[in-house]
Amino acid sequence: MTGPRIALVTRRPQPEHDRDLPVLARALDEAGAEVRIVGWDDPGVDWAGFDLALIRSTWDYSWRAEEYVAWAERCAKLTRLANPADVVRWNTDKRYLGELAAAGVPTVPTAYRAPGDDGELPPADREFVVKPTSGAGARYAARYGADERDAAHAHVARLHEEGFTAMVQPYMRRIDVTGERALVFVGGQFLHAIRKGAVLAPGTAFDADKVSHPDPRPWRPTEAELAVAERALAAIPGSPELLYARVDLVDGDDPDDGPRVMELELVEPNLFLGLHPDSLPRVAELILKAAAQ
């Protein structure tokens, strides 16, 4: 009797810096699964031939978001997709931050400027960030001083030319000191966490390559961080069953402000298995369980 057939879904060409993928494939293979690493847009893939399609490093989706969501919806009709297609549609557009905020989840304050809007930026007397609502790895994101509004306007105009909606956020200053924390959940339960440094350096162009996870280290989350992460997950529309989730948090400006959600990663997050090798057996176990459902 053969084991479950599992597709680990990535992009083409496979990204060299996806360190989760080889260790996860090896662990699933050793557990008896038939594993293939495939590109999401590979026309030769028979998705119906898998018991589970597990989205991993599809990090090019942000340039082709509509095409990507359409693929997820097609794939979900042919096999079990993790995470579900409705979640993919919702989470690939960072306007979900507004929904989380409306539900009472502490988030980084965010304003949106869609193509066709006047593009005027919110008033700012401090550093702020401009980035697209569809993006991964800090792509097309930049940090501006309050006196750099002309450059920021040009950034928004470029995003609109590319068809992106721009999002504008205050730069959360304490990230330069306390960093960003990523809390990973698998099967609905907290698994592990990491802390990483600030991604956006002053003066770095929005179209420059960036290190999306600088200096990552294992982290033990505080009770406040766990509480905010759990509130964010509970606020997802439809209460979907998630195989994995990552909640990225930063501190508010005031030390009494507590952590805020920077991003809720439900589509293709790095799970940092290399920093937490003891988590790998549990992750493999839950993936095999999902494939058998």
Query: At 19, phi and psi to the nearest 5?
Result: -85, -15
Q: How far apart are CA 58 and CA 54, in angstroms?
A: 10
Can you give the CATH number for the domain in which 264 is found? 3.30.470.20
Burial class (CB in 10 A: 0-12, 13-18, 19+), 275: middle
Q: For the chain, what is the domain count?
A: 3
* Same domain, residue pair 101 and 193: yes
CB 130 within 8 A of CB 141: yes
What is the span of the domain harbouring residue 38?
Answer: 5-87+286-291
* Same domain, residue pair 164 and 187: no
* Same domain, residue pair 187 and 146: no
Q: What is the pLDDT along the chain (293 residues), one digit of tens a residue?
A: 579 999 999 999 999 889 999 999 999 999 999 999 999 999 999 999 999 999 999 999 988 999 999 999 999 999 999 999 999 999 999 999 999 999 999 999 999 999 988 767 888 789 999 999 987 777 889 999 999 999 999 999 999 999 999 999 999 999 999 999 999 999 999 999 999 998 888 888 787 777 778 899 999 999 999 999 999 999 999 999 999 999 999 999 887 789 999 999 999 999 999 999 999 999 999 999 999 98
The reported pTM is 0.95
Report yes or no on 277 lying in a domain.
Answer: no
* Same domain, residue pair 73 and 185: no
* Same domain, residue pair 100 and 186: yes
* Same domain, residue pair 76 and 160: no
* Same domain, residue pair 187 and 265: yes
